[in-house]
Amino acid sequence: MTRRRLLALAASCLLGLGAAGPVAAATGGATLHVPEDYPTLEDAIRASSRGDVILLAAGTYDGEITVPDGKPDITIRGADRNAVTFDGGGVRHNAIEVEADGVTLENLSAHDYLENGFYWEEVTGFTGRYLTVWNVGLYGIYAIQSRGGSIEQSLVSGAADAAFYIGECFPCDTVVRNVVARLSAVGYSGTNAGGNLRIEDSTFEDNAVGILPNSYDVGLQPPPQRAATFRHNVVTGSGSVATPMSTPLGGFTGIGIGVVGGIENVIQDNEVTGSARYGILVTPAIDRGAVWTPASNRIENNKVRGSGIADLALARGSGSGNCFVANTAAVMDPPDLDAACSNGASGSVAVANAVALPPPQMLAGLPSAPPFGSMPPPGAQPQAPTETTPTDLSPAGIVAGAVLVLGLAGLVVLFGYRRRPVSPSRG
């Protein structure tokens, strides 16, 4: 959010004057310190108002936190991403669940939950950044039936379902960028999600499946999945390492990027290497007798190599308009895949026999997966940028600030200072 220059000047004049208790943050709310001002995160959430920042001191927290619908537009921030840790201990279910609009989670870590790390459910507006999650029984960081969000600068490792998930939304109006997913059943999963949805500039390494937009009827947003963009990602080693697995979508193991029953997606400028089966795949989605046919997907200018079966693959039974254009790939199935867009009768029977199946059927015969708690933890991760120092609105602070402002005004008059145009800052 752009700050007005007048407010920025006032804030800069009032830095570091040290009021006791909560002080106004750069967002216009207050900073609520845990445990200095409030003994628990739950207490701080109850006391918070729109625009407030809850700042967690370094330490270990149990989790099982809910931000209820009546607490919109707050931020929960860790003082140190690597030292503010939510520990599920292998017995608790979730770290933080958000049910309120406009809530930001940042600079936090979570691990060893039976279900999920950080997630948003049925909200408008959400932000997750500088988050680390490892070794969870379901999802690392995700949003379901939510829109207008961003997830960035975050890492998930050892998720038994998906490391990152955006699902059951259209339009999603969401971006996932500059994230890392590793050692998880699926790096990114997006069931029935699309519409101004971008997954970009991210790394997916050593997951069973790298990126998997998919169409299945799970009772919320109806299928098919459609109109998402996947670009500038690096996907490596899909299916090459044993990972935890609690999702039927693990049956697609060995696939770098797979479009399963989706339509009108763009797969562009990605680098996909070392997939155990297929580098980039387009296939129908089949479940309980229902079939969702992929069509009008554009796979363009990707670099794919080192796949176990084929670098590019289209399953028989796919619809028309699936276009493979200007990709770099050594092995394709069918071999003329890049010659023309699919016409509804093209596609490989061998590919269909391998992957155009109900997910539980594809799981049959896979080796036993390691438990999610057995995966190695990630190392230390980068911190969120330091926020603007909070503003002191105590009476003494206001007086001192006014003196500073008047002093600056006098200097301007004395020396004839003339302002030059400045670019507006970005919040």
- Contact 307/281 with Cβ under 8 angstroms? no
- Exposure string (b/e) for 297-313, b if CB count within 10 Å is 16 or more? bbbbebebebbbbbbbb
For the whole prediction, is pTM greater than 0.95?
Answer: no
CB atoms within 10 A of CB 271: 17
The encoded tokens of residue 349 equal 């029977």
Tell me 227's DSSP state.
-
Cα–Cα nearest to 226, from 205, 250, 195 = 195
* Residues paired with residue 280 on neighbouring β-strands, in sequence order: 257, 312
Bridge partners (DSSP) listed for residue 271: 234, 303
User: Which residues are bridge partners to 323 per DSSP?
Assistant: 298
What per-residue confidence (pLDDT) applies to 387?
Answer: 59
Residue 14 confidence (pLDDT) above 60: no
Instruction: State mean pLDDT over 265-291.
Output: 97
Residue with tokens 């739950």: 42
Q: CA dihedral defined by 331, 336, 342, 344, rounded to 10 degrees?
A: -100
* 119-174 pLDDT tens trace: 999 999 999 999 999 999 999 999 999 999 999 999 999 999 999 999 999 999 99
Instruction: Break the chain into its structural domains and give their ranges.
Output: 1-19+392-427
What pLDDT is attached to residue 27? 53
**Can you give the pLDDT at residue 258?**
98
- Model pLDDT, residue 107: 98
Q: Which is more confident, 421 or 245?
A: 245
Q: Locate tokens 């279900």: which residue?
A: 115
pLDDT in tens, 54-96: 999 999 999 999 999 999 999 999 999 999 999 999 999 999 9
